[in-house]
């Protein structure tokens, strides 16, 4: 049995979830191949994969159960999983309108992004994601249509962040 590196499993899931909307097949894939991931990472990678699927199925409670313990993001094999998990939790909290929890996770995410500069460009994209997310939340709170239009223009023009598709979808949903 050939081992699968955690990053390979992550990359496969990220590609497959966008191209295969059959989430049952994705779940079968995870169950079939998770045993090939190194044992010390298999639970975290499994949680990550099933959280991705749960988010796509709008099963937000499951996302939070899989990724958050005691108000803390679970440990992952590397920064890529950790960054994805933070974003996935934030998107879930936005979708479920848990404003108080959003602020807590944003603050923790900021600390994490400021503490580690292994991949500055990647971390900068995530910092901008937080900036755009804060702008979105402020515009929603104030029902500020102009701010939403400005945010949409910024995201489209800059192309300097991550999860732009989701951000633009949320902005568009909030626009009247």
**Are the beta carbons of 93 and 74 closer than 8 angstroms?**
no
Quick one: pLDDT at residue 166? Answer: 95
Mean pLDDT of 122-149: 93
Quick one: pLDDT at residue 92? Answer: 97
* Residue 133 clears pLDDT 90, i.e. is over it: yes
Distance CA(107)–CA(109), nearest Å, equals: 5
* Residue 116 clears pLDDT 70, i.e. is over it: no
* Residue 53 clears pLDDT 80, i.e. is over it: yes
Distance CA(86)–CA(68), nearest Å, equals: 9
Quick one: pLDDT at residue 105? Answer: 92
Q: What's the N-to-C CA distance of the chain in angstroms?
A: 54
Distance CA(52)–CA(56), nearest Å, equals: 6
List, in sequence order, every beta strand (DSSP E) within 34-144. 68-69, 72-73
pLDDT range class, residue 1, cuts 50, 70, 90: low
How much is the mean pLDDT over the chain?
90
């Amino acid at each position: 049995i050939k081992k699968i590196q955690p990053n390979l499993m992550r990359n496969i899931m990220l590609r497959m979830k966008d191209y295969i909307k059959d989430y049952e097949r994705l779940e079968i894939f995870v169950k079939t191949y998770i045993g090939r991931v190194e044992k010390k990472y298999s639970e975290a990678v499994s949680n990550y994969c099933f959280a991705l699927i749960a988010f796509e199925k709008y099963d937000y409670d499951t996302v939070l159960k899989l990724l958050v313990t005691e108000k803390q993001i679970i440990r992952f094999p590397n920064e890529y999983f950790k960054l994805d998990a933070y974003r996935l939790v934030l998107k879930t909290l936005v979708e479920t309108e848990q404003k108080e929890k959003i602020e807590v996770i944003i603050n923790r995410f900021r600390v994490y992004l400021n503490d580690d500069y292994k991949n500055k460009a990647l971390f900068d994209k995530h910092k901008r994601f937080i900036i755009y997310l804060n702008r979105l939340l402020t515009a929603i709170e104030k029902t500020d249509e102009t701010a939403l239009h400005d945010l949409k223009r910024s995201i489209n023009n800059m192309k300097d962040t991550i999860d732009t598709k989701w951000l633009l979808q949320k902005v568009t949903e909030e626009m009247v």
